[in-house]
Every structure is written in structure tokens, then in C-alpha cells.
Amino acid sequence: METGLIAIGAALAVGLGALATGIAQSRIGPAGIGAIAEDEELTGKVILLVAIPETLVILGFAVAAMLIILLGD
């Protein structure tokens, strides 16, 4: 039972982080493509802007890993 709850908690940590990243990137991506279409030199900045929300899922992964490693034993 407890193991199952830990697994659900870890899954929520990664899953919700991934969902949030996806939502953020789905807004930034089209705007970025529009900006690149106007000015190709903005490619680097757009990559940076699209990449920023990925931190959410990575932090979610860190939380999930900590849950499993610290509580899973």
C-alpha cells in the first residue's frame, strides 16, 4: 500500500511537471516560430525560451527520484 502511494506520488511529480512544461512550450513554440519567420537571427533566443520550461519536469523528476530513493527503501 505504502509503496503504491510512493509510486503514485512520484508519478504525479513527474507527470504534472511534464504537463506544465508541455502547456508552457505549446504557447512559446508557435510564438517563437512566428518570430523566427520574421527574423531568422532570433533562432537562438527562441530555443532558449522554449527550453526554459523544461526545468519544471526536471525538478519534478528530482522530486520523484527523492521520493523513491528516500522513502522507497
Chain contacts with another protein (rule: CB under 8 A): 43-45, 47-48, 51-52, 54-55, 58-59, 61-62, 65, 69
Residue 52 CB, nearest distance to another protein (Å)? 6
Going by C-alpha positions, the residue among 25, 20, 30, 28 that lies closest to residue 56 is: 20
Distance of CA 60 to the CA centre of its chain: 8
Residue 41 CB, nearest distance to another protein (Å)? 8
- Of 23 and 58, the one with the shorter C-beta distance to another protein is 58
